[in-house]
Structure 1
Amino acid sequence: MVLSPQDIHNKEFSTKLRGYNIDEVNDFLDQIIKDYQIILEENKDLRSQLSESKDKLSYFNDLKDSLNQSILVAQEAADKVKSNSKKEAEITNREAQKKADDIVKTADEKSTQILEEASKRAKKLAIETDDLKKNTRVFRQRLEVMLESQLAVIKGSDWDHLVEDGPTTTYEDIEKVVGDLDNPTNSDVESENKQGNNADAVESTPTTDDKLQTVVIYPDSQK
């Protein structure tokens, strides 16, 4: 039977002549009781840890067996999948080769057709581009005539009178100058028509836009 700290504490010894010092024996027993109590507690903790370790070991052993079984099953399944995949890959490869041959044949036929159509469209586009260049040159010449006419009006003495320092310009003066910009002089119009006719003589192709919009630039009233 294992002694407990209480058994040691309650132990009584008989006395004899010239025996040990009772106080020293009791002090020593008290120290033994303390150490023994510590050892018992440590032993209890170790037993508890050992029990937990055994439970964990048992769990991991069961888990290891389960994993080994799962690995075997997975290996068998992988072998089957590999075999089936190989067969399916061979079938897919043959079908893909056949489809590729058909696609190449169809692509050759379509590419030939597309090249023929593209050649026709390129010829047509070249003709349309040449016509567009001619119309652009005519438009440019007419635009130059119109801009020169407008610039001549802007550089006139009436505009100088509006922006020069001096008496306040009336609304009627501004309206007159703007009206002159909207309606160029007859000589300017005749010059435009003359140069426009010359442009028509240079290029026989009619312009795509015979009407040009007049842009009116109003002077800054704060100047």
Structure 2
Amino acid sequence: MATYVLVHAAAVDAWYWGPLAAELRDRGHDVVAPDLPCDDESAGLAEYADTVVKAIGDRTDLVVVAHSMGGFTGPLVCDRLPVDLLVMLQAQVPAPGESPGEWWGNTGYGSAREEADRRRGVPDGTDEEPLSLVLHDTPAELAAEFLAEHQRTQTATPFVEPWPLDAWPTVPTRFLMASEDRFFPPEFIRATVADRLGFQPDEMPGDHCPMLGHPKELADRLEAYRAAL
């Protein structure tokens, strides 16, 4: 039995991990999916990591899965606890000393997103709705519940804090990308992962939140990673 530690993105709670958590528990695993202190002005990256470490407690056989901005927190947990595997799921990959706010410009996200939007025929300057931009492959009822009940105020505090590690933690790391994501376009993710982690990401179907649209396949992928250790 493993303990899957699921680290969520900015401005949301951990609800969206529910379908994946159910799949993993059905396979006999423990799941930890804490709510990060997104709306606490005093909480930065260290406090986000503290929250996850506290939720883990004395559990062992840890597999950390970090999604989106959770990519800044997941490696910090791996630096503090003995973790068997880190899976970056459509996640931001930080560089030493880089704040989450700096990540966008440093990675060339803006121009990459503009080019991807143009290829999709999205007019310049369009403020695309979340249902189209990040949840277009999510079942409609789950997308509606997510947007109506599980969005949270996100403070700026962690966005201005440098990522504190000098190097990537010594833990087996995989990157799994969702190949239909419009928010983090596929070409951008492939280039960023190759540049920062030195390997090509694996790919699965899905939008920015594949844990909602494809929980069974995501669980299969995670289990395959774990079995290959």
Higher relative contact order (CA 8 A, sep 6+): 2
TM class by smaller structure: under 0.3
Q: TM-score, normalised by structure 2?
A: 0.18
